[in-house]
Amino acid sequence: MGRTNMGLHHPKDESYELRGKYSKIDRPSDSPLRSSLDAAYRHSSDSEFEDLDEFDPLNYDEGTLKRRKTRSKGERLRLPSNSSQKNVQRPYNRLRRWLIPSRMCCWLTLLFTASLILLLSAGGIWAYKSAPEDGQSPPWYPSPKGGTDGQWAESYRKAAELVRQMTLVEKVNITTGTGWAMDMCVGNTGQVARLGFPALCLQDGPLGIRFADNITAFPAGITVGSTWNRELMYARGRAHAAEAKGKGVNVLLGPAMGPLGRLPAGGRNWEGFGTDPVLQGVAAAQTIRGIQDEGIIATAKHFIGNEQEHFRQSYEWGLPNAISSNIDDRTLHELYTWPFAESVRAGVASVMCSYNQVNNSYACGNSKLLNGILKDELGFQGFVQSDWLAQRSGVSSALAGLDMSMPGDGLKWQDGKSLWGQQLTKAVLNTSVPVERLNDMVTRVVAAWYHVGQDDKDRWPLPAPDGDGGPNFSSWTDERIGLLHPSSDDKATGVVNQFINVQGEGDEAHGNIARKIAVEGHILLKNEGDILPLNRTGWNETVRQVKNTPFRVGIFGEDARGNVNGPNACKDRACNEGTLASGWGSGAVEFPYLITPLEALKSAFDNETVYVTDLPQNKIPDASAQILEDQDLCFVFIDSDGGEGYVQWNGVRGDRNDLYAQKNGDDLVLKVAAQCGNGEGDVIVVIHSIGPVIMEKWIDLPNIKAVILANLPGQESGNALVDILFGDVNPSGHLPYTIGKDAKDYGPDSGILRYPNGIVPQQNFTEGLYIDYRYFDKHNITPRYEFGHGLSYTQFHLSSLMVQQKKGNSMLPEPRPTHPIAPPKYDNGIPNPETAVWPEGFRRLNKYIYPYIDSTEDIRKGKYPYPIGYNEPAPLSPAGGGPGGNPSLYDTHAMVSVTLTNVGGVPKGAAVVQLYVGFPEGYKDPDTQESVDFPVRVLRNFTKIEINGNGERSKVSFDVSRKDLSYWDTRRGNWVLPSGTFRFWVGWSSRDLPLMGTLY
Ligand code: BGC
């Protein structure tokens, strides 16, 4: 069948009416009339896999396939931001790029690959064989069907009604993206216009609407985690979703809860909420509730084990395969899966599987993870979408539980050779993918859409030609008029940016929420001699009279000022230039504005009594020494940046190179401390960072009086800092991770794997449960500032700890309950292949992904190499049976209560009260007599309470669930509540725990 588009029209196109957003379409008379909106008629041209019986799912699936075929290199390239086309083509000068010295890692990777080829050609076939051919992740089949949870009953009922009316190609259309940059959002699915099911717009990301105008740049996840404030977590999700709704986004690609932060230098830790599963889980669940209560589908990402950027993705790092995160079952359950379980409990409607492999099976084709843990054990009812190009196989990923291929391209960016689309149609017709699996995939997507109420036509008008819904912005250009399908050869243009302001107004302005979060996300780490809060007028009255000079304040460090080229000068914020308010990558947005610390500070001080000088640079020339010497008080701003690994800055390829402040920040602090007021001035250090920063070079200097970790505060950065510095708001942020004294203190395997250690880089999570504070506690290492630490201007007191048992301590949860409802039933007969052939006269866009097949001749049945274990149904997990797992895991087993008092003189303050649990010491499994090792203590609950000074009190109670008191027993495949004495600590951080009680 011919591959050209020329002159082919689908009849439907002729009557196509333009909707509002494209109403001023600038379309040449001979331009194609096709729009993304008739995407029910979609194709994939030049498919790589013409025959499905020969369609080897590219060997990238889990453990069963005999050979691994490598594909030519593909990489993800994005447009530099100085182009008005945001992100469509990726014109890189590759040679120049590779010659940059900072690309050493890539050079070494190349060297590694080249040596490997040499070795192979020299007969060293052993080297190739050393790559794990077969995955080590156990099989879990068949894929559990959605529609088993009572809370989703109505959504599934409606979804089934709609899906029953769909044809095969319509169903496939919903499961597959149209291709990178083919439509307006970073991910776009096909629609079923005939039945009123729209194309879905999927857009990043966790801190705001990416690639969009007139939005809010909220503080990043790590800042939100630092607030320990459940209400703010919810409020940010809700405001974020309101903006998504206003821009016509159906699915938000957040919150992020993986990486969890196993590696302190990990490039994307800042997108999530902190290095503890409970903190991460609460923040994720609250965000999801906020997003979905507003009618947007939230995405819990990245499932799972994507703890570093190096080698996260095939080809991106010069190797054909992504890294394998090798995680044992107990660690997987107690750490990395925990926040996802909380997300499922909160009703999350989508989960994104990650790029990496887990136990040598790609996460998006890993049946144990998707079918077994996510869908069976956690009872997930929504749909699993792949991270962008994380899908590495066709049939086997469908069997393993993937429901949506994003962005729809195949193994390479913008190749138009989808692993699904047309190929999925063939796979269903030739029976390699059971019809019932496809029905389940589609039903999950459609049910998710109903679940958040997007079928409400008043709130969600249909896209053109039936309404004016759909995305009203383009991810690919800032211009009003732009290409409708930028990645294809189609030249049709239209109004793609309507510049709708979604930031909210007045009291409802989202900037207010952004500021509140930024304020509460500032952590006061040190405040010697109560130097803070400051006085806007400088000296207090008595001192002023004695001194009789203005109070002189110096502001130093590039991090205080803005980027001279504007806050959005660097592509996806991938540079550390000027003040740092966001990390980089897909999780970043275009700042609508960015209040810098410098401008906020300068206008905060009373200019009659305070004289402010600024030198916002990191190198202070000797000639400027006088400036330092003249000051009474010096501020030093330093920072440390990183982000997603597809972009790099100054040798930082996503993951940070070390844990120190960047751009000689430490030297700057040392210089300022030495010379400020001739060594007698007071110094306040402010740090913006994506993760822990080691401060040992200067933290103990006597004139470094205060240190504030401002995290990544978003657009309201300067205002939030000022609110804290002057005591307009009492600081209440607490550390979401540990700040060590040395990178080594985090453990021998806590560094980034920077050079490949095999064809498939292997990363063993050898430390198991012992990450962050759990590692420090186990090995008795004193951190600089421990997890949970944060100071206030007032003082709180805890008293009257009470621990009450609420339920008997049986070792195992109740038997798994049967599902309250049954999944929808469909006619699972093989559809007539004729219905799947290109409609006559259909005009195709080059590389656009469609569901049609070229000819019924293409459907040949053959022997498909099903994964091992495919024909033996896996036993259901005893830990399953409800959202997030067996409902009895969430029964309250104990209650811990304390009395909180504000004993300080400051009128108002918010206290973060934290509950940690210690498991029975010396516990042995009663059957095997094997000892079970436990962390010294683990966070299990927390709350933030605002309380007035002068002795006001409040009672604080925490529920403790069975799961909180259980460990994952790999032999039983279940949560076990050990017998013995549990300890409950309540306090202010993982090491400042004034109260302790026990329960037997
Ligand atoms: C990231 C995802 C993101 C997607 C779409 C990927 O590179 O890992 O987090 O949602 O791109 O932009």
Q: Is the CB of 186 under 6 A from ligand 1?
A: yes
Q: Is the CB of 586 under 6 A from ligand 1?
A: yes
Which 3 state secondary structure label does DSSP give 129? helix
What pairs with residue 688 in β-bridges? 639, 711
Work out whether strand 908-918 and strand 938-948 pair parallel, antiparallel, or are unpaired: antiparallel
HSE-up of residue 570 (Cα within 13 Å, Cβ side)? 22
Confidence band, pLDDT 50/70/90 cuts, at residue 225: very high
Which tokens in the block code for residue 340?
A: 């996802």
Nearby residues of 566 by Cβ (< 8 Å), 6 or more positions away: none
What pairs with residue 996 in β-bridges? 985
Which ligand 1 atom lies nearest to the CA of residue 76?
Answer: 7
Residue type, 750: S
* pLDDT score of 26: 24
Spatial strand order in the sheet of 551-556: 523-527, 704-711, 682-689, 633-640, 551-556, 610-615
Which tokens in the block code for residue 435?
A: 């019809």
Q: Is the CB of 354 under 6 A from ligand 1?
A: no
Q: What angle do CA 151, 155, 157 make, to 5 degrees?
A: 110
* pLDDT score of 809: 85
Model confidence pLDDT, tens digit, residues 941-998: 999 999 988 888 999 999 999 999 999 999 999 999 999 999 999 999 999 999 999 9
CA of 384 to the centre of ligand 1 (A): 14
Rounded CA-CA distance 323/305 in Å is 10
| Sole residue written with tokens 């090995």 | 779
CA of 468 to the centre of ligand 1 (A): 28
Pocket mutation for ligand 1, best pick of 78, 388, 406 (most atoms within 8 Å of C-beta):
388
* pLDDT score of 17: 22
Stated as kind and residue range, the H or E segment containing 602 is helix 597-604
Could you tell me where the beta strands, DSSP code E, fall in 380-513?
383-386, 481-483, 493-495
Which ligand 1 atom lies nearest to the CA of residue 205?
Answer: 10
Asked if the model's pLDDT at residue 208 lies above 90, the reply is yes
The sign of the CA dihedral 988, 992, 997, 1000 is positive
Pocket mutation for ligand 1, best pick of 76, 86, 644 (most atoms within 8 Å of C-beta):
644
Pocket mutation for ligand 1, best pick of 184, 202, 253, 647 (most atoms within 8 Å of C-beta):
253
Q: Please pick, among 149, 183, 387, 478, the residue that the annotation labels catalytic.
A: 387
* pLDDT score of 950: 82
Give the predicted TM-score (pTM) of the model.
0.89
Protein residue with its CA nearest to atom 8 in ligand 1: 387
Q: Are 604 and 546 in contact (CB under 8 A)?
A: no
CA of 139 to the centre of ligand 1 (A): 27
| Sole residue written with tokens 């401390």 | 673
Q: What is the mean pLDDT of residues 736-760?
A: 97
Q: Are 574 and 584 in contact (CB under 8 A)?
A: yes
Which ligand 1 atom lies nearest to the CA of residue 407?
Answer: 5
Helix segments in 620-704, DSSP class H: 625-629, 665-675
Q: Is the CB of 387 under 6 A from ligand 1?
A: yes
CA of 69 to the centre of ligand 1 (A): 25
**Burial state string for 234-266 with b = 16 or more CB within 10 A and e = fewer than 16:** bbbbbbbbbbbbbbbbbbbbbbbbbbbbbbbbb
Please give the span between the terminal C-alpha atoms of the chain, in angstroms, as a whole number.
Answer: 74
| Sole residue written with tokens 């002023």 | 544
* pLDDT score of 96: 37
Residue type, 478: D
CA of 549 to the centre of ligand 1 (A): 55
Q: Is the CB of 581 under 6 A from ligand 1?
A: no
Nearest partner of 440 among 402, 394, 395, judged by Cα:
402
* pLDDT score of 109: 54
Nearby residues of 562 by Cβ (< 8 Å), 6 or more positions away: 578, 579, 594, 596, 598, 599
Protein residue with its CA nearest to atom 9 in ligand 1: 586
Which ligand 1 atom lies nearest to the CA of residue 587?
Answer: 9
Confidence band, pLDDT 50/70/90 cuts, at residue 895: very high
Q: Is the CB of 409 under 6 A from ligand 1?
A: no
Which tokens in the block code for residue 307?
A: 């703890």
Pocket mutation for ligand 1, best pick of 182, 315, 387, 389 (most atoms within 8 Å of C-beta):
387
Protein residue with its CA nearest to atom 7 in ligand 1: 388
Rounded CA-CA distance 662/658 in Å is 9
Protein residue with its CA nearest to atom 3 in ligand 1: 586
More confidently predicted of 105 and 235: 235
Confidence band, pLDDT 50/70/90 cuts, at residue 467: confident
Q: What is the mean pLDDT of residues 440-462?
A: 96
Model confidence pLDDT, tens digit, residues 502-535: 999 999 999 999 999 999 999 999 999 999 999 9
The sign of the CA dihedral 42, 45, 50, 52 is negative
Model confidence pLDDT, tens digit, residues 98-117: 334 344 455 555 555 555 54
Confidence band, pLDDT 50/70/90 cuts, at residue 352: very high
Asked if the model's pLDDT at residue 49 lies above 80, the reply is no
Q: Is the CB of 654 under 6 A from ligand 1?
A: no
Nearest partner of 422 among 764, 755, 176, judged by Cα:
176
Q: Is the CB of 301 under 6 A from ligand 1?
A: yes
Model confidence pLDDT, tens digit, residues 822-840: 999 999 999 999 999 999 9
Nearest partner of 933 among 942, 943, 923, 941, judged by Cα:
923
* pLDDT score of 464: 79
Q: Is the CB of 76 under 6 A from ligand 1?
A: no
More confidently predicted of 76 and 629: 629
- DSSP character for 998? E
Which tokens in the block code for residue 148?
A: 């088993």
Asked if the model's pLDDT at residue 132 lies above 50, the reply is no
Protein residue with its CA nearest to atom 2 in ligand 1: 387
CA of 277 to the centre of ligand 1 (A): 22
Rounded CA-CA distance 693/841 in Å is 61
Model confidence pLDDT, tens digit, residues 806-826: 998 899 999 999 999 999 999
Rounded CA-CA distance 7/462 in Å is 29
Protein residue with its CA nearest to atom 6 in ligand 1: 388
Q: What angle do CA 701, 703, 709 make, to 5 degrees?
A: 80
CA 331 → CA 39, 339, 370, 933, distances in Å?
43, 13, 17, 12
641 assigned to active site: no
CA of 638 to the centre of ligand 1 (A): 28
Asked if the model's pLDDT at residue 649 lies above 80, the reply is yes
Measured in whole angstroms, the distance separating CA 613 from the mean position of its chain's CA atoms is 39
CA of 75 to the centre of ligand 1 (A): 14
Does the bond joining 597 to the residue before it have cis omega, within 30 degrees of 0? no
Pocket mutation for ligand 1, best pick of 201, 204, 268, 351 (most atoms within 8 Å of C-beta):
204
* pLDDT score of 19: 22
Nearby residues of 920 by Cβ (< 8 Å), 6 or more positions away: 934, 978, 979, 980, 981, 982
* pLDDT score of 58: 30
CA of 939 to the centre of ligand 1 (A): 30
Confidence band, pLDDT 50/70/90 cuts, at residue 313: very high
Q: Is the CB of 253 under 6 A from ligand 1?
A: yes
Which tokens in the block code for residue 82?
A: 């100085």
Confidence band, pLDDT 50/70/90 cuts, at residue 129: very low
* pLDDT score of 728: 97
CA of 201 to the centre of ligand 1 (A): 14
Measured in whole angstroms, the distance separating CA 162 from the mean position of its chain's CA atoms is 32
Instruction: Quote the percentage of the chain above a pLDDT of 70.
Output: 86
CA of 389 to the centre of ligand 1 (A): 9
Phi-psi map region of 818: left, alpha, beta (phi>0 left; psi -120 to 50 alpha): beta
Model confidence pLDDT, tens digit, residues 136-149: 789 999 999 999 99
Which ligand 1 atom lies nearest to the CA of residue 355?
Answer: 8
Which ligand 1 atom lies nearest to the CA of residue 271?
Answer: 9
CA of 204 to the centre of ligand 1 (A): 7
Rounded CA-CA distance 324/320 in Å is 12
Please give the mean pLDDT across all residues of the chain.
88
Q: Is the CB of 205 under 6 A from ligand 1?
A: yes
